[in-house]
């Protein structure tokens, strides 16, 4: 019904409605972003990890931090799960959260900024100190209308006045985001690109089973984070810290305290190794499979459990997800994720259409699919479960939320196998 009403209301009227609610929140909660530094992180992938890493670095450097991510809300030592099934919450909630951060004495707040949130003007009324761009790959194309419109939605966020821009120089759209006005521009490159102006270029990059390490301007940074993609995420977080006046040597020391993000490239168990990840875009799926290549041993197989999150949208990516799974996986199990009001079997069939020849099975019950993968896995194999990560819900027909956690299901089903 809400979707139908939105389609009937002219776009200019709808935008005015969104903006009015945004500024109503500013008034009700006494313009909290004017009293605290707000850092917004946008991009297709990596937003949650950058917020998580940067929060740790800033805390280790002595700042009092609040954060909003798709995983959690955090105000200093207090944190709670984001149960909205929405990365960027509603306008009033954001303003209320910012006010609570101000009242708690926070110095800075980090938040994910999504294209859908910008389209619905949830960023309006927030004074941003820093804007961060991680990357741009196809996502939400059906709702935005095109990749160009998707990019421009993120550009609308960067167009808002802000003091510091932190931009991924490795991304093909870097110049677009770097062209927006800011007092200070910090570019970063995991590929070690030499770029003009202030930059962070990774050298001597090492990625392995023990974590990642790299040097920036002769300073070595090490962490137990896994995967080459986390080099880029770490550089973005370092750029945020530089923008807050923290020196590179202090950032490197704080980086050693960074731990993995729940549900992001998380190794849930060993022998067999099980990796749980949120990957729900083709680019994210390929990156997590590449990461797994760096941690699996010898002849072990890669058994992949996946579907395609978000029923009713982004149908274009479903065959592509299947194609990527075929490229990387030895065995594929397709299953249900968040179908909403769409027929789950149709979603899975579209993913399967991208798989040409690899052994593939469809097990619609997600718990059964995970259990089957575990039963088939030997000690040297790796089971990769993607699409939900640490999300606490599965959303089915009628918007009904079913309590869920891929990580808990893995542990529960493995316990059953061991007991039998």
Q: Name the residue range of residue 305's domain.
A: 266-419
With respect to residue 383, please indicate whether it lies within any of the assigned structural domains. Answer: yes
CATH number at residue 117: 3.40.1190.10
Whether residues 35 and 168 share a domain: the answer is: yes
Residue that finishes a domain, picked among 201, 226, 255: 255
Per residue in 93-147, pLDDT (tens digit) is 999 999 999 999 999 999 999 999 999 999 999 999 999 999 998 776 666 778 8
Q: Tell me what the pLDDT averaged over the chain comes to.
A: 93
Whether residues 133 and 279 share a domain: the answer is: no
Whether residues 235 and 318 share a domain: the answer is: no
User: CA triplet 113, 117, 120: central angle to 5 degrees?
Assistant: 150
Per residue in 297-314, pLDDT (tens digit) is 666 899 999 998 776 677
Distances (CA, A) of 56 to 28, 230, 318: 31, 14, 35
Spell out the residues 6+ positions from residue 346 whose beta carbon is closer than 8 angstroms to its own.
none
With respect to residue 261, please indicate whether it lies within any of the assigned structural domains. Answer: no
User: CA triplet 258, 264, 265: central angle to 5 degrees?
Assistant: 90
Whether residues 245 and 307 share a domain: the answer is: no
Residue numbers in the chain where pLDDT is lower than 70:
1-8, 140-143, 296-299, 311-312
pLDDT at 298: 67
How far apart CA 74 and CA 81 sit, in angstroms, is: 9
pLDDT at 87: 85
With respect to residue 370, please indicate whether it lies within any of the assigned structural domains. Answer: yes
Given the DSSP bridges, would you call strands 184-189 and 164-168 parallel, antiparallel or unpaired? parallel
Given the DSSP bridges, would you call strands 78-81 and 72-75 parallel, antiparallel or unpaired? antiparallel
Whether residues 240 and 131 share a domain: the answer is: yes
pLDDT > 90: what percent of the chain? 80
Whether residues 282 and 210 share a domain: the answer is: no
With respect to residue 260, please indicate whether it lies within any of the assigned structural domains. Answer: no
Residue 271's region, left for phi above 0, alpha for psi from -120 to 50, else beta, is left
CATH number at residue 303: 3.90.190.20
Whether residues 227 and 299 share a domain: the answer is: no
Whether residues 226 and 276 share a domain: the answer is: no
How far apart CA 402 and CA 74 sit, in angstroms, is: 24
How far apart CA 336 and CA 345 sit, in angstroms, is: 8
Per the structure, how many domains does the chain have? 2
Whether residues 271 and 413 share a domain: the answer is: yes
């Amino acid at each position: 019904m809400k979707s139908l009403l939105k389609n009937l209301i002219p776009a200019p009227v709808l935008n005015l409605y969104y903006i009015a609610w945004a500024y109503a929140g500013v008034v009700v909660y006494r313009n909290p972003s004017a009293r605290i530094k707000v850092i917004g992180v946008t991009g297709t992938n990596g937003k949650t990890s950058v917020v998580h890493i940067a929060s740790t670095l800033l805390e280790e450097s002595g700042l009092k931090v609040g954060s909003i991510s798709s995983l959690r809300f955090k105000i200093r030592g207090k944190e709670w799960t984001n149960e909205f099934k929405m990365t960027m919450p509603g306008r009033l909630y954001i303003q209320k959260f910012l006010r609570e951060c101000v009242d708690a004495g926070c110095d800075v707040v980090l938040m994910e900024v999504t294209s859908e949130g910008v389209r619905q003007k949830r960023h309006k009324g927030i004074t941003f100190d820093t804007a961060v761009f991680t990357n741009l790959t196809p996502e939400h194309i059906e709702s935005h209308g095109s990749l160009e419109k998707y990019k421009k939605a993120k550009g609308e966020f960067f167009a808002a006045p802000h003091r510091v821009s932190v931009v991924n120089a490795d991304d093909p759209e870097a110049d677009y985001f770097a062209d927006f006005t800011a007092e200070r521009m910090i570019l970063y490159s995991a590929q070690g690109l030499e770029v003009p102006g202030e930059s962070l270029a990774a050298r001597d990059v090492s990625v392995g089973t023990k974590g990642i390490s790299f040097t920036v301007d002769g300073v070595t940074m090490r962490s137990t984070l896994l995967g080459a993609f986390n080099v880029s995420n770490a550089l973005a977080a370092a750029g945020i810290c530089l923008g807050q006046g923290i020196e590179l040597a202090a950032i490197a020391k704080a980086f050693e305290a960074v731990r993995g993000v729940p549900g992001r490239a998380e190794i849930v168990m060993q022998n067999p190794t099980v990796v749980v990840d949120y990957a729900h875009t083709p680019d994210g799926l390929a990156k997590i499979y590449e990461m797994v290549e760096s941690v699996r041993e010898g002849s072990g197989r890669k058994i992949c459990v996946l579907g395609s999150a978000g029923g009713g949208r982004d149908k274009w990516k479903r065959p592509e997800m299947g194609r990527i799974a075929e490229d990387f996986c030895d065995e594929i199990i397709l299953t249900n994720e968040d179908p909403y009001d769409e027929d789950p079997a149709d979603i899975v069939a579209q993913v399967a259409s991208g798989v040409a020849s690899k052994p593939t099975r469809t097990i619609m019950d997600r718990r059964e699919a995970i259990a089957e993968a575990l039963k088939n896995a030997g000690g040297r194999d790796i089971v990769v479960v993607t699409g939900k990560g640490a999300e606490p819900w599965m959303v089915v027909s009628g918007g009904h939320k079913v309590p869920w956690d891929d990580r808990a299901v893995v542990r529960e089903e493995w316990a059953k196998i061991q007991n039998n």
